[in-house]
Every structure is written in C-alpha cells, then in structure tokens.
Structure 1
Amino acid sequence: MNTPIRERMSKTTLDVLTPLIDCATERAGWIQCVEIAHDLLDVDIVVAIEFTQHERAVVRAGIGFEVLTPGLVIPIAPDSQAAYAHRQGGICVSGDLPTETRFTPSGFLVREGIRSSVSITVDLPDDQVAMIGVHSRRLDHFDDADVDALRSLIAVFGSALARLRRSDELALSAIYDPLTRLMNRATIMRHLDESLESGSPVAVLLIDLDGFKTVNDLYGHGAGDQALKTIAKRFERCMGARGKLGRIGGDEFLAIVHDSDGETLAGQLIGHAEELMAVQDSTVQLSASIGVARRRVGDDATGLLERADRLMYTAKSHGRGQAHNDVIVDPRPVSLAPARRSDDPVPTLDDVEEAIAGLTIVVQPVVDARTKRVRAVEALTRGPDGHLLESPDRLFAAATTFSRLGDLELASKRLAFDLELDPGVDLYLNVEPMLPASESWMAQLRQAWHASDQRASITVEIAERSVLQSPGRLLAAVDACRSLGWKIALDDVGGRSENLAALRWIDPDVVKIDMGLVGNDNPAHAAHVVASVSAFRSADRRRDVTIIAEGVETIEHTRAADVLGADLLQGHLFARPTSPDRLDIDAVEQWGATLPQPQRVDGDRTATKDELVRLSRQVEASAQSSDCVLLASVQHRDHVTERTRRQYEGIARRCGFVGMIGHRLSELDDVQLRGVRLADIDAHDPMARSWQVIALSPDGSIGLLATELDTDDGDDRRFSYEIITRPSEVEAAARNLLRHF
C-alpha cells in the first residue's frame, strides 16, 4: 500500500469522505471526488468524465491536466482505455501504460509521461455512466489496496451524485416540464399573471400540434415523447429572447410575447413544427394550429387563455398549419396598471422618436475563410446606449407599432453610408424587405446614398423568414436594390424548408448559412439545406455565388464551415458587434492569422474522418423513402462500426436499394447488416482508398466523393472531397458503384 493511503487511512473513512458527502451541488461533488482521489492515491493526474451519446464524453472535473477543462466534449475511441474499462466490467488497471496491448493508450497521457493508470466507471441515475481516471508517472504505482480504496470512493461518489441529481430534479420539476424542459403550466401561467399585472401589451399564442395523435397511435408513446422533445427544442430556438414559452399539457404549448410580435411568431413556429422529423424508421411531418390572443382592457390570465383557446380551434377548423388572430374591438389602448414595473415600461411614440434621433450602429467583420482578411462589415442598428429601446428587438417592434419603421431604417442607413471603410471592404446592410418596394421610401434611400461619400460595394440582406409573406413586393424590392448596383444576400437560409425555393426565384448573390445547422437535431433537414444550396451553386450562371457561414464561435466551427464550402466567415470568434470606432481590422486579421488554415490538396477541400462522418450522415439522411437508392464505399470492413450497422439497417428498411462496397465486406453476414447488399473489392482496388456516399431519388440527388490522402498525421486520417448535386454527376457516380453488385 502506498504511504499516502496509510496516512489518510489513519483518519476515519468518514473524515476522508465527509467533504464529498456534504457537497451541496453536483459541480462541487465532481471536484471533491477528483481532489480526494488525487490526495488519497498520490497521483499526478485525475480526470472525471461522463459518457454521452455517439462515442463522446464530457469532462466534468480534473487535476493536473489543464487541457481537459470542465465542459469540454472529447471523443472516446472504441480501442481506448476508457472504452476497454467500460466493456470489462467497469475497471482497468495498467502498471506500464506505454507497453499496453489490451487497448491503445491515450496519446495525451503518454506525452505527459504517465506510466500507471486506473480507469473505473461510476453508475449514475437514468442509466448514465461516468468514469474516473487516476494516472501516475511512476511504474506499477497501484496495488490492490489502492484499487479497493478507489472502489470505496467511487461507491460513495455515485451515491452522493445520485442524491444531488434527485434533489435537482425535484427542484426543477416544480418549475419545468420534465419531458421537454420547458416551463410547466404553473410557471408559464405565473409569468402571464405578472405580465398582465405590469400592464405590458402582451399577446399569448396557444399552440396545438397537428398530427401528433397519429404519431402516438402508429409508433407508440415513446416515439410521441421524442417528437414532443424535438418540437420543444425547435420552438425554443425560434422564440429566442422574444418572450416566454411553456408546455401546458399534452401536445399544447403556450408562448407569451409583445403584442406586436404575435402574428409573425405564429408563422415562424408553424414553419419550425413542419420540418421533417425522423421517428423510428420513418419520417413524419407534424404541424401546428395557433390561436393568437392580444390583451384587452380588463383581461385576466384565465380570460386571455380561454380566448386564445377558441381562436386556436378556429384555426384548426381551417386545416392544419393555420394561425388565427383576434381583432381588438375596443379602440381604447390597453391602460397601464397602477402597479406596473418601473424597470419595464411600455414604449411610447416619444420614446421611438427619441431613439431614432439618437440612433447608433455597430459593425461586425466578415472575414475570408482562407486568408482571414476582412472582406466586409455588416452594419447593425441599435438604440441609444442605456435607452429603453437600445435593444434592436424592442426598437423595431416599437417603431412598427407607431408606423415609424421607414424613418428608423432611413436613419440607420444614413449612419451606415457615413462609415469610412478601407478599400476592398464591402458593406452589408439589413433592410426590412418590404420597404424598398415603396418608390417614395426607396427614393429617399437612394438620395441618402448619393449624398454620402460611401463607395464600398453594398449588399442588402433579406431574412429568409420574410420571403413568402409577400413574394410580389419582395421581388419589387430586390429589383429596386439591384437597380442601384447593389447585391442581394439571402439570410438565415434553412429556417423553413419551403423557403429554400426562394433561392431559385430571388437568385441571391450571397447565401448565409447559420452554423446552428451543423448541430441541427434534424439531420434530414440539414441534408436538404446543404443539398439545396450546393445544387443552387452548381449551376453555371451561379458559380460565383458567395457562401457565408455566420454564427462562427469556435475553431471547430471554422473547420465545419470549410467542410460545408463557405467562402466567408462571420461570428464572435473574430469579433462581436462593436462601434465602428472600436473595430480594429488589423487586430481581427492578426487574430485570424493565428487560427488553423483550411487545408487544400491540388485545390480540393480536405476533411478529417470525423468531419466526413458528419457529412456522410447528412447525405444518408436524404434517403427517406422506398424510391431512394443509397450507395456507400467504406474502404474496409473494419470501418463498419456498430453505429454504421444500425444506421444502414434502418435505411434499408425504408429504401428500395442500399448497397455497401469495401475490402473484406463479405465477412459480414446478413445478421450483422440486415437488408444491405454487400460487395467485396480487392485491397489494391483504387476504390479501397475512396469514401463515397451517394443518395439517388426521383426529386433530388446528392453525393459525397472523398479520397484518402497520404499524410504523416498518424491516426488522424485526412481526405480530399467534394459534394456533388448535379444530376448527371450523381448518376455517373452511382453507376460506377452499382457495377460492383
């Protein structure tokens, strides 16, 4: 037994473990566990992780290894020590890590000089699993007494963590719905009471899902619960900071917003509800019926909710995917209650005029994805600092309410035209899309532009959510902007599936894709967006279309943006929106120069194995029905993971033909890959170096073609690749693979 353990064991076990038993929060519990393990076993490094889905884990706490910070998500390779310990009953002891043959030692630990290592699992509530790893630079550091001491610590830690999580669940259950994690009925109704007491001009949206009962009846309540969680996430993203959202029971949700936002938000929520959703081996499409009730004089929460309920049923009577708004019959404005909150007053016309008079703008740089040079700035409108309407959401809502939106936009654009930009830096402007369709308003904007010294190339951004509200006026607005030589950017592409058609008839010069699509909980929708944008860009007359990845906040986002084919990047990684006099372009470019640069081989984009896996999943997700064909070359049998097997078995159950090509694939039997046609190739066949995924359907096709590169990166395999969407190219690639069957 190690001396430190004898010293610690001289105290009572309770003394050693009391700090862990007494922890009041889960975070403190993780920290106490690793600190006790570090002192008890006299080791150099302790790391605590919790396994998540898809061969990943999140770091919870650690000592001695600063790279692994709490919250960091790390991959867990199937041949790693952690995976081995998990399979072998929960513990793995190694006395000489570099010579191990049972698993592949962590490169991090080997570089740190670690010789001895113990990994032990911790059973958590809800069938979750964590792991504590203790590591020493001494050879054969751990004996049986060490392992027994660690087991005792883990047993106490598991019990303490279960207690803390149960306590957290009880506290949260009083506020949040346990299934969707939205506010529960009591909480959202309390917020509604408070909004009415404050005198705020509110609207409530009562949302009832269309088609949900069918999902429950056909696929069971488990599938119904998953559908509710997916819809709740979408609604939450759509709402953002605009109001409050809760689940009030069954498939009904309640949203509370400013009364000027109700109608617009209802349409957006319906669009999010109608995105395709994977349920078991099928794809379903729900919708929503929404009743929008605005506050009237004398309303209480019950009366307002009852009116919204009646309006919702009126909407439902007109068919799925409808919203119905009430009409204010009392011309008197809603009076403020005497007890209104002083910190949340209702804007007046004077407030709007004051905000327009003191308007400010902030700018955010847009950088070249390869060189990291600043190629443009986007000008964004803000109210005066510290003003009631400083927030753009409140500012634009109030200006719309008092019919001052045109004045607000003109004042904002005059400030943008006065910006002093370096040569070669373009100016991006957000414009309310209906305004340029007004000849009188456009004449004032044109006069303001000509009166300024602004000579930068100008691009007008149109939010994708607006394209179907009034297509005729929108086309007139696009023509008016293009008549001045300005370019058109389509913003927020992918927010609603039907709006992707706008790519064709708006024909934008710039397409902006939010990086939120990369982590979208609906891979089929993400695949549809990527395929649509790629197909749009592949047309001969549109090859000069610029793709901007916005919302870039991490280095991983830059890699993902490169994989998606982005030309320009925008996001907090480079700079947050700031006042023009504080934007330091040199500093932005110097910071960009320190970031990893996109790698190219003979001009082709390159990607790691993990990045290609994500792209492959998106292509595979586009194969949804019996008239689809999915083909894949996977190089070698060893690359067919358990997850890949499950994925392709599921696809084979819904698609007409699913085929897989690779070396030694015939060693996999039908039980391991039910319904998937397998074809063998020789190890020296050129196809053995290719990674291809081809999805063919009558109404659209997409393909991923990749070739493995010879690199010195060890296990970090890298590929050159391209995404193809032209029917002739996809069909030719498919024929090439089909010849092997």
Structure 2
Amino acid sequence: MRVLLVDDDVVDREFINRKLLKHNDLDIQITEASSVDEGLVLYHNQHFDVILLDYRMPSRDGIEMLLELGNEPKTNSTAIIITSSSDDEELALSCLKAGAQDFLVKSEITTTRLRSAMLHAYTRFELEKQLYFETHCKTGNQVDRLTGLTDRYVFEESLRRELHHGLRAGYKVAVLLIDLDNFKYINDIYGHQVGDWLLQEVAKRVHGCLRGNELLARMGGDEFAIAISNLKIRKDIESILKRILQSLAIPFIISEFAIKTSASVGGAIYPENGKTTDELLKHADVALYQAKSLGRNRYSFFQKRMEEQLSRRHQIEKDLETAVENNELLLYFQPVINVENENVVGFEALVRWKFKEKIVPPDEFISIAEQSEAIWSIGRWIIREAIAVLGGWNALGYADYSMSINLSSVQFKDPELVSCIETCIETFNVPAFQVEFEITETALWRDLKESRRVIGKIRELGCRIALDDFGTGFSSISHLQKFPIDTVKIDKSLMPGSFDGSKDIAIIMGLVAMSKMLGIDVVAEGVETDAHLSLCKAAGITRIQGYLYSKPLCKDTIDELYIFAARSQETR
C-alpha cells in the first residue's frame, strides 16, 4: 500500500511512520511531504492508495488540499484520512463532508487504530468510486468542468471501444498525451485564476488543430489526451502534432500579460506499442517523459528502449535515497586561477557519486536528484563538506581561497538551506565572504519570488552570489538588475572553437564590459587553450578555470599539488 503523508511537523511524521511500519505485514511504502504544495506535486507525479493529511499547516491548510483533490477525476483519486490535534466533532464532520474518508485525532492514534482506519478508508473509497461510476458515468456525457472537454473516464471508455473497432477493421489507433511545460511556474507567478484561464485557452487551440473526428480530453491538471483512430501511417499523426506545437508557441494574451508556454507530447500507437488502454496510456506517458527530458516543446513516440531508460532512472532514484548515509558521495575541486600571476585563488566544489565502485558523473544523477528532491540532502552534504574543507585550509593558515558551491533551483524550496549554510560557516569558522554560491539563470527564472527571498537570506549571511552559465540564458541583464549578483561566470560554450570569426570574441568582450560597468566580477569557464587564455587577458577577465590549468581533482590531490606545496615553499 502506497501512502502519502502530508504534515508540516517532523515529529508527527516520525510518530506516524513508526506506527505504520511496526509489524509491517501490509507492505506499506510511505512518501512524506511537509506542505500542501509539496504534497500536490507528489500526488500528481505518483500513485498513492491513501493520503494521511494534517488539517492545520502553515500557508495552506489540509482542507484546501482535500477540496482541490475533490476536483480530480475519480479514476485519479485516492482515499484521504485527515489528522488533527483537535477533537472538535464539528471539524471532523466538516472534513468528512468535504470528501475525507476518515478523521483521526493525533493523540488517539495507535498502530492498530491507524492501520484499521487506512484499510477502512481505502475500502470505503473504492465503494464510493464504484458508486460514482455507476450513477454518473454510464451516460457517457461526463465533461471536465473547467474546459468542457471529455473527462478521463469517458476518454478511457471511448478508447477501449476504438481499440475493439481497430482490431476488427485492421486500422491503427494513436494515443497522445499533452503536458504543458512549466505550468506550475505560470500558476506561481500569475495565480491560479490565470492558470485556469490558460487551460481553457489551450483546450480551444488544441481543438482547433484537430480534424474533427479525434477525441480530446482533459486528464487532470495540465495534461490533455487525444485519441486518433482509423490511421494508416504515423505521418498522419505528426502533421497534427506539428500544428499543435506551433499553435501553443503563440503567446496567450490576458489583461496586460503575454504568457508564453509550450507543450511536450508523448505518443503510443496501437497495436505495436500496446493492445490495451492501460498499456497505451502507460507507454504514451513514458514517451511524454522522454520528450520533456530532451528539452520540452517537442514530441516523442514510444520505443522499447525508453522503458529501459526509465527503469534505469527509477533505479538511480532509489539508490540515491541512501547515497548520503552510505558515504557514497565525493567532492572534487577545480582550481580558479588569477590570470595575472597564474596563482590559485579559489576552487569550485563538484560532486561525484561512487556507487558500486564506479564513479557516476553528475550528468547522470543530478537531474534525477532534483526531481525526487534527494537534492535537498545531497545539497546540504555538499555545503557541509565544502565549507569543512575550506575551514581546514584556513586552520593551516591559507585563508586566501574562495569556495564556489553550486545550488539547484530545487534547493530554494529546502526550508533548512539557509540555516545549514549559517551553521556550517559558524561551525568551521569560515568567513562568509569566502563562500560563493553559483546559481543558473534558469533557476532564477523558475520562481522569481522564492529565488529573491532565498538569495537575499544567503546574501545577508555575507556569502557571495555568482550567476553561472552566463550568456546562455534568456534574460541575463534583467537578472543582473534584480538580484544581488557579485560574480558572473561566462559559460564555456561561449569560448570560441576557432578564432577565424569575430562574433564569439565580440560577445565575450561585450559581456565582460557590461559586467564591469555594473561592478560585477567575471570568471571565465572552459579555458582549455592558450588562445582562450589570451582572449581572457584581452577582455580583462581576472579569474579563469578550465582544463588548461586543471581538471576537477579529489581533495588529497588538491592538498598535494596546491596546499602542501605552497606550505613547503614558504618553509624553504
């Protein structure tokens, strides 16, 4: 049984964990969330049989999540038990009327009571769902209240009929799943009313791209589905997909806002990608995931290898959960060089994962850690280890180095991030100005309000802020104006492969000049040749890093090449 536990109190979560996992003959798997928003994200990304939902939480109460889930299609719902410190009967009754299957007072929770309530709630919910379908869905007239489209239940029932007809007539049937890119951030920035309006307009545009005999449905959230029957070749589907993506690329105008969005689409075709509704939807979802991972705003059709890749990804996600406690993470350090005298002035901390005696590169696991939020614990480990190393060098008398640490946008949601940084610089006696946090432009854009708040708190501690991958984002200048940026790191992709043309050189010269006018330091990444070094000197860049001087190295090698070497020179 898969359980989603939503409670802001870590002590209460641990208490319920102990009660549920004691004599775990039910094979219970628990996923935790500390807020309603976090719980909703998990709910929409995973399947749960039961939600244990705390009534009273900061920002948004559990009752808000209960009501929001009440708008979901019954086929996508979950049994819900509300927990509360209050034994108010009126409160309990209002929660049950709002759609909860049970209400538990926390002080009265025992292992037996909790497990019994979960089993009863799940059974009661299944009966409610069956009654719902029998009384509401047999007519085949169910529609999504927001968009007026067919809902999930009718879509799946209609698809089953089409597959039966396709089997008899010998034609293909395609299932397409459409998911809006970054819809959550549109909701966060503009509000849920604008988000609802956008979903209605998206439904209209997609419908306008169809021939008229396809079935279009809203599956829940920002996901839509299309069933296309009587197909002969896949090329017929691709023309529809291109029209849809081009249509959604045109900005949506509401009031004074011009909202830009895009969509990712996953497709599966009967009979080669599946012979049942469940198989086709599952494989279309796998293809959708592939489209998103390739950069979004594109479509992908299911291939067998995608399932294998997804299986490997899930395995990595599972293995990452214990990477910190099993001491499997390693820090490597790449020196930052002063251009004038070629001395080392700092290091960038870069994480590696040693799993089963093999070094897993960050490209293979960081994005997975971000999506599973394992990046929270991994990120705190990196901060702690990097600052500890810097403190050790300071204790040896080498207090001139800086330490750059990368921050993921997902870490902005970690409630312990700022306190972790503060504790580390105090514990290891490191002046805050020696620590620099690198943030990408994409991370800033995803949630401007939260980004400003967290970066402001880090800046208040005295740490420096660097804008990484500078020049590759889509609003560099505005970020320099809106955020307290101390350093920009010119992305290695801007380093010219050849020096025949002047465009690449002019871009770097312009970026450096602009940064200097704003009083911002510049670091160049990807310096790999003498020509790159000469360009940096000509542009007035003072700090560089790259393979011309050193690749990332483990701490022992750094100590031997730079720290102890410098110490031995001083004693001569």
Higher relative contact order, chain-length normalized (CA < 8 Å, sep 6+): 2
- Which has the higher Rg, Structure 1 or Structure 2? 1
Q: TM-score range by the shorter chain?
A: 0.3 to 0.5
**TM-score w.r.t. structure 2 length?**
0.44
